[in-house]
Structure 1
Amino acid sequence: MNLSFLPEKIKHKQKIDLSELGFDFALAYISEGTLVSKNNGAKFLKENLLFLNTASEILESKKDSSVFILYFSSHYFKDLHHIQQNFCLSYNPQDIFNSETLRNKSLSLKKENRKLIEKVISLIYQQGESENAATSTFVFHQVMSLFALIENILKDLDLPINESRDMSQEIEAYIQQNIYFPDKLQIKNIADHFQISANYFGAFFKKKYQKSYKLYIDDIRTQLIEERLASSQYSMKQIVDELGFNDESHLTNFYKKKRNITPSAYKKSRKTVS
């Protein structure tokens, strides 16, 4: 799927089926009318917000309905990672879409929140008419603002995004969200974030994962390098910039130490296999 983000306004008798469209998530705001589940007939009413993923029910708009949909692939929240650091989100938006608390349920909005949601969505749609919404920095800022607003609404309603996250899950989520920012993943900084000592964090991590924290991070970065090398869409400079290496030599030395071959040799081996 080439598109990572798509805003769409649907009308009467249109379906929302993520598996058919090739997206992972969708945020739906019902401006007018009703959405109805094709599975069990459940109705989602005007001025409600829905969080959908590929496990969600297929929905259909009814007569005189107007629904604003923001479709996302999981890559959308990674591809523009260099912007995400400007936002103070407690959760990756994917956590919200996958939350058992919100799945197949609609969120009724207070008037003041509804106006803010409508304003942000309107800005996204307007900008999408003049440039590619999937790569727009402005649109990305608006999307992140939207999720910051949603987090505040969920907090006010005392709705947990995930009720069963233990510390190891919180740490994994933090690493996933900040893997592109080496400074944030330094033991001192991550220990400060979770308000524990660096020594305790190191011991806890090794006991939990049977490997050191450094080795765990190195393994993730190595895997990300190989994913980029296997794709024709990334240059070495882009991989260096994305993963926070100083230069191509730094990346090459890191990868060779882990795999005993150079990145270019790995890339050639992938071409031979394909």
Structure 2
Amino acid sequence: MEIKNLYQPFELEYLELTSYTAREHKNTFFEMVFILDGKGIQSINSHKLPYSANKLFLIFPQDTHGFEIHSPTRFFVIRFNESYLKSLSKEWIQKLEFLFHSHNHLPGCILNNISDKPLVRAMAEALIREQEDPGPQNEEVIKQLINTIITLAARNLSMDTQASLKGPATNDPIPLLTYIHQHIYLPEQLRAAKMAAHFNISASYISEYFKSKTGESLQQYISEYRLKLIETRLRFTDMQINDIVFEFGFTDASHLNRAFKKHKGLNPSEYKKRNHYKV
């Protein structure tokens, strides 16, 4: 299978394609694809769903994906890699993490709020114009537009999951998962008693329920999710170990080292040395 790389912080591409079936491939970067016009099939990780105009798709590194084009299609693609992530603030990195780690990696548009579709379309069309006819401060304008699209995408995921948080946890594990994702930087909020109080259920039942629905213990899932985010920090940013310790609420660097080495077989410094992406 083809693997595609990106050798600059971000890249924009406008494509007009007719009947053509793209081979499935994997990226080493993030990708957002907006459909301006056309119809066909999007596939991610062997799942397929029709696409049409005004759909926005998220593609995570190492997802297997492709498009089958059934009628002439205009695609607008935003690609960005680790060096783009490094240029963002901590707040933006956390926004990206929520955006991508809460995404289910299934096909389908993530714009559930219909009124946001014309906004994203306007941003995409503005980016196309800015790319074709650069004006003053061109790169800064492009970055702001990209960040606006990311914000709109994050808002849609947040709105969708906030609605599910209002439902009873006993019907679906998704509200619990969403709560964990949103509070992963606040260890006190992830105690079983605190979560049980939030969902108005028994503290002794919440762990049992979570395991029955996910196959993992509640604390195991929280730990694995936190360590996955730390992997992202080590690979894609220049954050120091002590900064990561503080951000994720570890007692000290030794506490982080023990947990991470149990998870990956390497301490954080060794993992970063071997896996940190270089531009």
The question of whether the paired residues in 2 share the 8 Å contact of 1:38 and 1:57 is answered with yes
Unpaired segments ≥5 residues, structure 1: 156-164
What is the letter of the counterpart of residue 124 of structure 2? Answer: I
1:121-156 deviations in whole A, cap 9, x for unaligned? 3466659942396xx57743442224535887x89x
Structure with larger Rg: 1
Question: Following the alignment from structure 2 to structure 1, what is the Cα–Cα distance between the partners of residues 236 and 42?
Answer: 38
Aligned to 2:55, which of 43, 49, 53?
49
Give SS of 1:68's match: strand
The SS at the match of 1:98 is coil
Distance 2:222 2:258 in 1: 14
Secondary structure of 1:51's counterpart equals strand
Confirm whether residue 27 of structure 1 aligns to residue 33 of structure 2. yes
Q: Quote the sequence identity (%).
A: 20
CA shift for structure 1 position 182 = 2.9
Could you say which residue in structure 2 is the equivalent of 1:67? 75
TM-score by length of 2: 0.53
Residue 25 of structure 1 and its aligned partner are, at CA, apart by 5.0
Q: Contact 2:210–2:217 at 8 Å: present in 1 too?
A: yes
Aligned length: 242
Q: Which 5+ residue runs of structure 2 have no aligned equivalent?
A: 44-48, 132-136, 162-169
The structure-2 alpha-carbon separation of the partners of 1:140 and 1:231, relative to structure 1 and needing over 3 Å to count, comes to closer
Pairs within 5 Å for 1:1-274: 6-12=11-17, 19=25, 21-23=27-29, 25-31=31-37, 34=38, 47-49=53-55, 51=57, 53=59, 54-59=63-68, 66-71=74-79, 82-83=91-92, 92=99, 98-99=105-106, 102=108, 114-122=117-125, 129-131=138-140, 139-149=146-156, 167-205=172-210, 213-214=218-219, 216-218=221-223, 220-221=225-226, 225=230, 233-245=238-250, 250-255=251-256, 258=259, 266=267
Residues in 2 aligned to 1:37 and 1:260: alpha-carbon distance in whole angstroms: 41
TM-score, normalising length: structure 1: 0.53
Q: For residues 48 and 6 of structure 1, what CA distance do their matches in structure 2 show?
A: 20
Q: Distance in 1 between matches of 2:173 and 2:267?
A: 33
Higher strand share: 2
Supply the AA of the counterpart residue of 1:8.
Answer: E
CA contact (8 A) 1:120 1:146 kept: no
